[in-house]
Structure 1
């Protein structure tokens, strides 16, 4: 799993930023961060295995496997260190990367995510979805259950809703099932966060119902050097719903890293 497809804004100045996408989307969700809005920073965004243009994952589901794949991607594109950022599932993966490859971490961005492990109800729901998409060999279930309603705030435009549905619909059933089971198996990451010394930013949408403000506050409190940003009026996909506010928080982090 070394051949992750990656979107790359090209050469830039300062420490590069590597962004990890949410479930069940792909790297296309970072369009407003890859288009130059973050100034001269080099921005990279891989499709995780089974999403976008990357091949299906293999082996026992574990976010550590993906964290190692991200490290190999960095090797392939010549990055010794980077600011690692993730939203939702991408945040879980960013924390796994920090645990396994902390020496390669120049800064950490955690958006609309949480450091705690899943509760029993969430674990059961992940397995339900994983089994269903594999049995049907289709991710239509995610669209039938209107997954986008949990991901987006109530003020989202019809155009954004349609974009998110298209991102969801492009997912691979094997990738969706593997990701659900990998997320279910992830450990609590508060100890990892407490040991980090790099600058960190925690971002959360005001109306995020999946990983609400309390989760963001807990991560910001655990991190030794973190700034918390609450983006008004948006839900779980803050980078898509309020790109200007999201990018301002990211730019502030990159300045602190510099």
Structure 2
């Protein structure tokens, strides 16, 4: 199916998005991890487009969206996502988020509940005080010092290599390309996640939630059961072999899990 790309004029400037599927179908908003872009869902969009109007946006500061005029913030990113839905004439959408995108999805579901149908949280961390303390004592995740000989590009690759499947260099290449476009603040998404007080918000999520657990994602897989304990209506689906780049690593399995859940909610 054809994937269409465009920009929407929002309060922060021109926000980039890609979409696939009929404008009359139920809408699904897809939110990516940091420091990726809509391209994380490049192979997923046509699969979802068979039943839904899939919209994958570039979070402000990433991909082809503009740098944020404020410090990266989960709350502000959720506000921009709500603006995009409004600009596209979408009154209500299901929301799918992976890693950072999942955290944004939680805030969107709480603060803009009338706009959000069902929620899919893929490899999403539970960010409470313990998470913030642990993150404060860890080194930067993706930031590297630029090197005249380009060695920093290899360092970006190596920093992520252990969390990506062997024999799939195209996935790491996509990560590096997106990382280089991250508005000069490649750590912005990680910092925003660490600062978000999810423990004060998650109990206000009233929508049905699917938790997708990538079994080989060491960062977020352990959080699925903890998230489920704080949600009123949640179920967990495991994707075996799934790692950090789950949507573009296993797009068919990812899209199938999302579709199976959402067709019961539409």
Going by fraction, where is strand more abundant, 1 or 2?
2
Runs of 4+ in 1 over 4 A off after TM superposition: 135-143
SS of 2:68's equivalent?
coil
Please say if residues 87 and 237 of structure 1, whose CA atoms lie closer than 8 Å, have aligned partners that are also in contact. no
TM-score where L is the length of structure 1: 0.85
Distance 2:160 2:88 in 1: 33
Residues matched between the structures, number: 251
TM-score where L is the length of structure 2: 0.83
1:96-149, Cα deviation, whole Å (9 max, x unpaired) = 2122112211010100112223342313446x469x66x859998575142432
Query: Are 1:99 and 2:110 matched, yes or no?
Result: yes
CA drift of 1:54 comes to: 0.5
Which sections of structure 1, spanning at least 5 residues, go unmatched? none
Which sections of structure 2, spanning at least 5 residues, go unmatched? 1-11
Please say if residues 48 and 54 of structure 2, whose CA atoms lie closer than 8 Å, have aligned partners that are also in contact. no
1:13-33, Cα deviation, whole Å (9 max, x unpaired) = 442000000111111110122
SS of 1:171's equivalent?
coil
Given candidates 58, 64, 68, the residue that maps to 1:57 is: 68
Counterpart in 2 of 1:90? Answer: 101
Please say if residues 143 and 168 of structure 1, whose CA atoms lie closer than 8 Å, have aligned partners that are also in contact. no
Please say if residues 2 and 73 of structure 1, whose CA atoms lie closer than 8 Å, have aligned partners that are also in contact. no
Counterpart in 1 of 2:219? Answer: 210
Distance 1:199 1:156 in 2: 36
SS of 1:116's equivalent?
coil
Query: Are 1:182 and 2:192 matched, yes or no?
Result: yes
CA drift of 1:155 comes to: 4.0
Give the 5 Å matches for 1:1-258.
1-117=12-128, 118-125=131-138, 128=140, 144-145=155-156, 146-149=158-161, 151-152=163-164, 154-155=165-166, 157-174=168-185, 176-189=186-199, 192-212=201-221, 214-258=222-266
Q: 1:185 to 1:232 in 2, by over 3 A?
A: same
SS of 1:78's equivalent?
coil
Q: 1:181 to 1:256 in 2, by over 3 A?
A: same
